[in-house]
Structure 1
Amino acid sequence: MNENQNSTPVAENKMGTMPIGKLVFNMSLPMMVSMLVQALYNIVDSIFVAKLSENALTAVSLAFPLQTLLIAVGAGTGVGMNALVSRSLGEKNQKRANRIATNGAFIYILSYFLFLILGFTVVRPFYASQTGSADQEIMTMGIEYLSTVMIFSFGLFTQFFFERLLTSTGKTIFSMTSQLTGAVTNIILDPILIFGLCGAPKMGVTGAAVATVIGQCVAGVVAGTCHHKFNHEVNVELKSFRPDGKIIGNIYAVGIPSIIMQSIGSVMTYCMNRILIDFSSTATAVFGVYFKLQSFFFMPVFGLNNGITPIIAYNYGAQKRKRMIHTIKLSLTVAFCLTFIGFLLFETIPQTLLGLFNASDNLLAIGVPALRIIGIHYLIAWFCIIAGTVFQALGKAVFSMIVSIMRQLFVLIPAAYILARIGGLQMVWWSFPIAEVISFAVSLTFLIRIYRTIIQKIPMEA
């Protein structure tokens, strides 16, 4: 027996015994619901901000790259911690799972202090690089909004840490509970703080940031409480803690590709904003609205990802090939159904979707054809998302990173730049379907390789 393993037998987790259909439903549905609510409050946030002015909507949209970076670090670190904890539990090595969780807490604390510093130092030059001195109102509102979100991001990191621990042991219902409470708090506080209702001061765009931060803190407290009371399979052991370089390295070996993969989204949105602002601030606002809307359809797929990652990792650790394959096939089917709904809505009612954001005639003129063109990529994106999840769960997150870098930096941005120069604004939106086609081809190639080199070599159980 491994000296790090417990000497007493460890009961089999449901991820190794429950029928796959029921397990995926049990693990993923709470995460999908909570991510859907997360997407909803992102949209509601922008809907309220749009009622202030189109400049206010543009200011919040321009914050997206650094907000994405903030979330990327929190989520990507959680991917690494989640996968390693689940695999250790699958191997019946609870002691190692505890050490991974404790080192994960240490990493999250360091991550917060990094963004605290960035909140005080980089926000102003970041906005200046996108707006210049062309519109001081957009820059002022944006700086107030983004600084607040970054400086008080400790709630977000706390939320990520405890939710990923709950997910790694299959207790996704509690992750859903924490995200729901945070989202509902945000939605309630948004109009109160933005417009000064119920005796509160009228804070405008800054009120939206304050509501977001308070919602994240509430979610963090709820997630921490649920972990302490119900998640006894993994313990955070702070007594006599010393950072373990090897464990931290293992967490980042899985997590950094995920962080980079999501951070590339920050670079992509920043570059797209620079391309679009040359046409008009309204074009940038359309891009921001698209990102809010697409989250409503992609977030449930990401919730599905969060649910199936520990299932695949656990059964990989337990060497249960049939359960892994069944999980992958079922998740591909569910992901397709979710993104197909997005495709239908983008193609049939783009005016209604844009109307949610108090769209002007100019915004509608640009946004309607934009959504219809971009919506085409929903027909392909589902496969790439699930394939990336499989890579991460099996410790090959570098494949996900390669696909993401290629899609967003080597295809999408160059395509958008070239199309902007030869065809104008209307052609820029075609860069999204083009990038997705290339991403599909590379993801399929990697998935076939993963199957032949890892999955197929696991003995097929009875």
Structure 2
Amino acid sequence: MSLTPFFMELAAGSIHLVTNRVLKIYGGDLAIGAMTTITSIYLIFLMPVFGMSQGMQTIIAYNYGAKEYEHIKKALIIFLISGTTILIFGFIIIRLFPQELIGIFTNNSELLELAIDGIKIYTFALPAIGISILGSMYFQSIGSAKISMLLSLLRQVIILIPVISIVPKLYGLNGVWAAQPIADLGAMTIVCIFLINEFKKDK
């Protein structure tokens, strides 16, 4: 049984509680409603990448067992490019049609305006998330469960909680929206370092 997805779900639930508490302070109930709408749209584009990570796991694990390290590299690169492409597409769609997307979930003008402002900041680092998701799954696939768990928790807990506790004190509600992309970029950087070091090893 894989523990990494379990801890990711547990972390997601925990961070929602923390985020809602901060949103309540800096934006009230309306901001919580806006965040619900934003994350719903956010997940529309993330779900295909989560699905890809599950498919990648089987391919990487099989080739790792067969010691086909070049095949592993090629597969990982293909998945990283594909996942990033999907998220870049999502980023562009959100930038071009924020009102239309948010309008699917609400017709409240005040909530709509708040969510439009929030989604532009919250999804700023959307294209970077694929590397974090697929990179952590790569380590799970080769049996490095501890590293995988660490990398999985980076953007959801380890980086995000300190950021969302500090940045809103400086920038208010915009700081709440900005906490997630800051965590995403930080997590992507660390995952890239781990991947580079992994492939530098003499197999």
User: Quick check: 1:277 aligned with 2:24?
Assistant: yes
Match of 1:376 in 2: 124
What is the SS of the residue equivalent to 1:300? Answer: helix
Within 5 Å, give how 1:351-362 maps onto structure 2.
351-362=99-110
User: 2:136, 2:147 within 8 Å by CA — same for their partners in 1?
Assistant: yes
User: 1:257, 1:400 within 8 Å by CA — same for their partners in 2?
Assistant: yes
Deviations 1:172-216 (A, max 9, x none): xxxxxxxxxxxxxxxxxxxxxxxxxxxxxxxxxxxxxxxxxxxxx
The alignment yields a C-alpha RMSD, in angstroms, of 1.6
Q: One-letter code of the match for 2:63?
A: N
User: 1:342, 1:375 within 8 Å by CA — same for their partners in 2?
Assistant: no
| 1:301 CA drift (Å) | 0.9
Q: One-letter code of the match for 1:421?
A: K
| 1:361 CA drift (Å) | 1.3
Match of 2:140 in 1: 392
Match of 2:185 in 1: 437
- Select the residue among 162, 181, 195 that pairs with 1:414: 162
User: 1:315, 1:323 within 8 Å by CA — same for their partners in 2?
Assistant: yes
User: 1:370, 1:429 within 8 Å by CA — same for their partners in 2?
Assistant: yes
What is the SS of the residue equivalent to 2:125? Answer: helix
Unaligned runs of 5+ in 1: 1-250, 458-462
Within 5 Å, give how 1:91-240 maps onto structure 2.
none
Greater Rg by CA: 1
- Select the residue among 61, 72, 76 that pairs with 1:324: 72
Identity across aligned pairs (percent)?
A: 28
Unaligned runs of 5+ in 2: none
User: Quick check: 1:346 aligned with 2:94?
Assistant: yes
User: Quick check: 1:265 aligned with 2:3?
Assistant: no
Q: Which has the higher helix share?
A: 2
Q: 1:419 to 1:359 in 2, by over 3 A?
A: farther
| 1:397 CA drift (Å) | 2.7
Q: One-letter code of the match for 1:405?
A: L
Within 5 Å, give how 1:9-24 maps onto structure 2.
none
| 1:351 CA drift (Å) | 0.8
Deviations 1:25-60 (A, max 9, x none): xxxxxxxxxxxxxxxxxxxxxxxxxxxxxxxxxxxx
Q: How many pairs align?
A: 202
Match of 1:256 in 2: 3
- Select the residue among 37, 43, 47 that pairs with 1:295: 43
Relative to the length of structure 2, the TM-score reads: 0.92
- Select the residue among 335, 340, 344 that pairs with 2:83: 335
Stretch of structure 1 that moved more, 285-294 or 256-265:
256-265
Whole-angstrom CA distance in 2 between matches of 1:405 and 1:375: 19
User: 2:53, 2:134 within 8 Å by CA — same for their partners in 1?
Assistant: yes
Deviations 1:369-411 (A, max 9, x none): 1111112111211211111121111011322321233333232
User: 2:132, 2:188 within 8 Å by CA — same for their partners in 1?
Assistant: yes
Deviations 1:46-79 (A, max 9, x none): xxxxxxxxxxxxxxxxxxxxxxxxxxxxxxxxxx
Whole-angstrom CA distance in 1 between matches of 2:14 and 2:6: 12
What is the SS of the residue equivalent to 2:3? Answer: helix
| 1:358 CA drift (Å) | 2.2
4+ aligned runs moved over 3 Å, structure 1: none
Q: One-letter code of the match for 2:24?
A: I
User: Quick check: 1:403 aligned with 2:151?
Assistant: yes
| 1:429 CA drift (Å) | 0.7
Whole-angstrom CA distance in 2 between matches of 1:321 and 1:369: 45
Whole-angstrom CA distance in 2 between matches of 1:372 and 1:433: 10
User: 1:257, 1:401 within 8 Å by CA — same for their partners in 2?
Assistant: yes
Whole-angstrom CA distance in 2 between matches of 1:296 and 1:405: 21
Whole-angstrom CA distance in 2 between matches of 1:305 and 1:430: 26
Match of 1:314 in 2: 62
Whole-angstrom CA distance in 2 between matches of 1:419 and 1:322: 42
User: 1:258, 1:400 within 8 Å by CA — same for their partners in 2?
Assistant: no
